[in-house]
């Protein structure tokens, strides 16, 4: 390709990027408005809506719930996802395709379907509007993400390395800790991060199974924007975008570190 | 069962589905001995090795090491070192950490680990690479790390599964020497799997020839080459001429298309009677080409082609009614002015010919290299 023939491609890519990023450019300045209404550009700036967030027990509770549910979901889906991914990568059992479908399924079904099903099941168990119920629901959604991330690195594992470790005196647990875990660690880290993010900004399922007594951040924002449209939600959005960016950049850096290691000369 | 055997495999079998990977293999290895498993791929040599290592459970039979029954002991408690074809190093650890791994698993004191690792790395000439990651080393260097890692903890047995298979020929020969030098000086009992007969001959005290899940014959390279017990061993080890026929008596004579020929009978011949399918094995270097008028044990033939190879030359001759034979000779000896189309007589000493049971398959009748 010549220098000039790239111009249309670059232009289209830039436009798409701009279109995707544009809300952020509006959102961030707007979160610092000094006014009560959402008008862009604001006439004066302040951090009052940030202060409002940190002074409101309702917002802080929602954030605390989201954080707790997110971390628990990340932990639970990783603990369940790693062995599932390892079996999918290794075993030849004839029921594995079924396991695969069951695990990956929730990623393919529309969220509202999962939400309705979850609501029914959790109502039966009397777990709606509770921390365990929410973690269970989010883990169902996060599991496919974790399994897919771990599976990608588990498939590259060399069984002879594990056999070598065993012959050198490592018990099965130590074989896993010393050879399998280091090899799949990047996949596990990425899986856990995505698992957290999945829970952190999950709205549809949460709307069904939370209530006034137990809300997550996205649900609180949803209610707020529908009722009062005060700029606190925008300030929260800005903070969420910042957090998500940090998580995704971390994931990117982990991935890059991994491919750098592979690219080293022999 | 001999009392002095160090590693003893007794009547071990393993099937995968309906195919028998290993079929009643028995083997005794002395302490400090270097034994190679040689055979075509799929003949059961690697499966036997994996059963010794404990990665594969035998369906039947026992494996004993120094009077301890290993058959059901898990791999990490067998105290057996193994080197794989693909090195199988830990990519996230440095060379020194790789070699230290088995010592760490055995909770050896840190100061001793350090000393033993540096000794092992010096031994494989990699002391300068201690802090490098394995992926930055060449294939030969990586395999030397794997070797150091496998002997540093002084295992009772060292297993090697085609360790040089991924390396080029020149590197292979250097490493063959290096490996035997190390195993002999450390006195480690070694089982070495290969499909390269030159490698097996160069390295081993004894060689077990595998065929179809069983050991056909075990012995020194010389035994196998000069006194093959079966047609498979005879044709697998080195080049050979196989003349088909049927037994006459039990002294090694067979009736062939060109008359009766004598040979040394293999042990299995003794129990067979007249008329049983048999053949005569004559090595190319044991045949001399002489003028047709001269007598002696042999056959009349016509020179087909002559290939000069420096130290030797290969002459291909055709025997009417029998087919081709290969003759290896010193270019400066034998008939002068040998040329294609010439009528000659191929002769050999009857003691250099071996009579074996069985009839060669079509592909075996053609000499391997001309």
Residue B128 is predicted with a pLDDT of 94
Do the domain assignments include residue A43?
A: no
HEC profile of A218-230: HHHHHHHHHHCCC
Residue B270 is predicted with a pLDDT of 78
Residues of chain A falling short of pLDDT 50: 263-266
Contacts of B53 in chain A (CB under 8 A): 163, 167
CATH number of residue A139's parent domain: 1.10.3720.10
Do the domain assignments include residue A124?
A: yes
Residue of A nearest to B146 (CA): A164
Residue B199 is predicted with a pLDDT of 93
pLDDT digits (tens, 9 = 90+) for B184-220: 999 999 999 999 989 999 999 999 999 999 999 999 9
Out of B75, B90, B133, the one facing A166 most closely (by C-beta) is: B75
Contacts of A161 in chain B (CB under 8 A): 88-90
Do the domain assignments include residue A110?
A: yes
Q: Token match 């939400």: residue?
A: A115
Cis peptide before B46 (omega within 30 of 0): no
Strand partners, B327: B315
pLDDT digits (tens, 9 = 90+) for B32-51: 999 999 999 889 999 999 99
Do the domain assignments include residue A213?
A: yes
Residue A87 is predicted with a pLDDT of 87
Taking an 8 Å cut-off on Cβ atoms, the answer to whether A164 and B78 are in contact is no
Strand order in the sheet with B157-161: B80-83, B157-161, B189-194, B34-38, B206-211, B214-219
Do the domain assignments include residue A10?
A: no
Residue B57 is predicted with a pLDDT of 93
Residue of B nearest to A174 (CA): B105
Q: What is the mean pLDDT of residues B342-358?
A: 90
* Beta strands at B353-357 and B264-265: parallel, antiparallel or unpaired: parallel
Domain total in chain A: 1
Contacts of B136 in chain A (CB under 8 A): 264-266
Domain residues for the domain of A82 are 54-263
Residue B192 is predicted with a pLDDT of 96
Is the pLDDT at B365 greater than 60? The verdict is no
Q: What is the mean pLDDT of residues B267-280?
A: 84
The interface predicted TM-score of the complex, written ipTM, equals 0.81
B284-300 as b/e: b if 16+ CB within 10 A: bbbbbbeeeeeeebbbe
Q: Token match 């087909």: residue?
A: B304
> From the CA of B280, how many Å to the nearest CA of chain A?
44
Do the domain assignments include residue A45?
A: no
Residue of B nearest to A173 (CA): B76
Q: By percentage, how much of chain B surpasses pLDDT 70? A: 96
Contacts of B150 in chain A (CB under 8 A): 167-168
Q: What is the mean pLDDT of chain B?
A: 89
Q: Is B101 on the interface with A (CB under 8 A)?
A: yes
B162 against A260, higher pLDDT: B162
Do the domain assignments include residue A14?
A: no
Residue B298 is predicted with a pLDDT of 85
pLDDT grade for B266, boundaries at 50, 70 and 90: confident
Residue of B nearest to A161 (CA): B88
> From the CA of A74, how many Å to the nearest CA of chain B?
25
Residue B364 is predicted with a pLDDT of 44
> From the CA of A164, how many Å to the nearest CA of chain B?
7
CA nearest neighbour of B246 among B219, B280, B223, B216: B280
> From the CA of B91, how many Å to the nearest CA of chain A?
8
Q: HSE on the CB side for A17, CA within 13 Å?
A: 6
B270 against B347, higher pLDDT: B347
Residue A2 is predicted with a pLDDT of 65
Beta-carbon contacts of residue B151 (< 8 Å; ≥ 6 apart): B81, B120, B158, B182, B183, B186, B188
DSSP state of A242: H
Q: Is B361 on the interface with A (CB under 8 A)?
A: no
Do the domain assignments include residue A182?
A: yes
């Amino acid at each position: 390709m010549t220098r000039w023939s790239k111009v249309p491609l670059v232009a289209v890519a830039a436009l798409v990027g701009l279109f995707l990023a544009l809300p952020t450019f509006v959102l961030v300045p707007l979160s610092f408005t000094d006014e009560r209404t959402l008008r862009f550009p604001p006439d004066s700036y302040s951090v009052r809506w940030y202060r409002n967030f940190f002074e409101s027990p309702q917002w802080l509770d929602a954030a605390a719930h989201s954080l707790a549910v997110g971390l628990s979901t990340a932990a639970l889906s990783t603990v369940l996802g790693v062995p599932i991914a390892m079996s999918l990568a290794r075993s030849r059992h004839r029921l594995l395709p079924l396991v695969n479908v069951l695990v990956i399924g929730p990623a393919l079904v529309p969220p509202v379907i999962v939400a309705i099903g979850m609501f029914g099941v959790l109502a039966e168990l009397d777990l709606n509007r509770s921390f365990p119920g929410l973690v269970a629901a989010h883990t169902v959604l996060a599991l496919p993400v974790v399994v897919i991330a771990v599976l990608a690195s588990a498939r590259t594992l060399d069984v002879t390395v594990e056999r070598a470790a065993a012959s050198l005196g490592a018990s099965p647990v130590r074989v896993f800790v010393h050879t399998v875990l280091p090899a799949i660690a990047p996949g596990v880290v990425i899986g856990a991060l995505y698992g957290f993010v999945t829970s952190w900004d999950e709205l549809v399922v949460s709307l069904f199974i939370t209530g006034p007594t137990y809300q997550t951040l996205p649900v609180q924002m949803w209610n707020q924007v529908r009722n009062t449209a005060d700029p606190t939600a925008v300030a929260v959005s800005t903070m969420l975008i910042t957090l998500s960016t940090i998580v995704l950049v971390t994931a990117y850096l982990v991935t890059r570190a991994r491919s750098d290691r592979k690219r080293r000369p022999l | 069962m001999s009392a002095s055997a160090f590693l003893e495999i007794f009547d071990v079998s393993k099937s995968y589905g309906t195919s028998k990977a290993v079929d009643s293999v028995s083997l005794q290895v002395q302490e400090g001995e270097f034994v190679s498993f040689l055979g075509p791929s799929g003949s059961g040599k690697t499966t036997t090795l994996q059963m010794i290592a404990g990665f594969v459970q035998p369906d039947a039979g026992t494996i004993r090491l120094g009077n301890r029954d290993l058959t059901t002991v898990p791999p990490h408690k067998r105290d057996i070192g193994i080197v794989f074809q693909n090195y199988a190093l830990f990519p996230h650890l440095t060379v020194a950490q790789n070699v230290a791994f088995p010592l760490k698993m055995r909770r050896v004191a840190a100061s001793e680990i350090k000393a033993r690792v540096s000794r092992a790395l010096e031994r494989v000439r990699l002391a300068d690479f201690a802090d490098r990651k394995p992926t930055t080393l060449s294939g030969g260097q990586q395999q030397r790390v794997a070797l150091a890692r496998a002997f540093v903890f002084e295992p009772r047995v060292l297993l090697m599964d085609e360790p040089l298979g991924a390396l080029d020929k020149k590197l292979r020969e250097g490493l063959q020497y290096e490996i035997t030098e190390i195993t002999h000086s450390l006195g480690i009992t070694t089982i070495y799997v290969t499909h390269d007969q030159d490698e097996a001959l160069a390295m081993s005290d004894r060689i077990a020839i595998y065929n179809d899940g069983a050991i056909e014959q075990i012995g020194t390279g010389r035994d196998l080459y000069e006194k093959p017990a079966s047609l498979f061993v005879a044709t697998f080890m080195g080049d050979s001429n196989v003349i088909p026929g049927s037994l006459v008596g039990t002294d090694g004579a067979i009736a062939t298309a060109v008359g009766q020929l004598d040979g040394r009978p293999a042990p299995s011949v003794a129990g067979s009677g007249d008329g049983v399918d048999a053949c005569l094995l004559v090595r190319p270097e044991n045949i001399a080409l002489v003028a047709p008028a001269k007598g002696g044990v042999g056959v009349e033939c016509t020179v087909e082609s002559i290939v000069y190879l420096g130290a030797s030359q290969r002459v291909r001759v055709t025997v009417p009614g029998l087919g081709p034979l290969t003759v290896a000779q010193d270019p400066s000896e034998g008939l002068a002015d040998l040329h294609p189309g010439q009528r000659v007589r191929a002769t050999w000493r009857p003691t250099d010919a071996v009579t074996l049971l069985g009839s060669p398959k079509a592909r075996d009748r053609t000499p391997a290299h001309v």
